[in-house]
Amino acid sequence: MNLKKVLSPDVVWVDLKADSKQGIIEEMIARLGAAGKIKDRDAALQSVLDREEKMSTGMQNGVAIPHGKTDAVKSLVVAVGLNKAGVHFDSLDGSPCTIFIMTLSPLKRQGPHIQFLAEISQLLGQSAAREKLLACQTSGDIYDLLT
């Protein structure tokens, strides 16, 4: 998957402010809404929170991939954010998360969502890629690195 097809500079942030799991999710949804990427903020938020209730999307090595399926989006929507201070996200390894990749996809579409999650998981499984991402100073740096 070409990340340029699903990622745009207006949904990449180096400065997430929230200091809680709920806060990070709400902040990313709000910013996606402000960028015009979602039709229904509440429905999008609820889809991600419902997914988190089933099982945390805090992975390991400081990465969280909150995601949801909702008709509040027409096609796959992706956002990337950093909170370098770290946020407790109920991760598999118990460590705080600093890298947040949010995806939203329509309820009836499976392929692009699964393909993106597989690719981003593979990329962020590499410690060098995570280190480069966390070294980014601007949203443009993150966008350029990922695309």
The number of beta carbons lying within 10 Å of the beta carbon of residue 50 is 12
CA distances from 45 to 11, 83, 95 (A): 16, 19, 24
85 touches 19 (CB < 8 A): yes
- Among this protein's residues, is 67 annotated catalytic? yes
Pick from 74, 75, 66, 19: which is nearest to 47 by CA? 66
Of 21, 31, 37, 67, the active-site residue reads 67
Rounded to 5°, angle at Cα 13 from 11 and 16: 125
The residues carrying an active-site annotation are 67
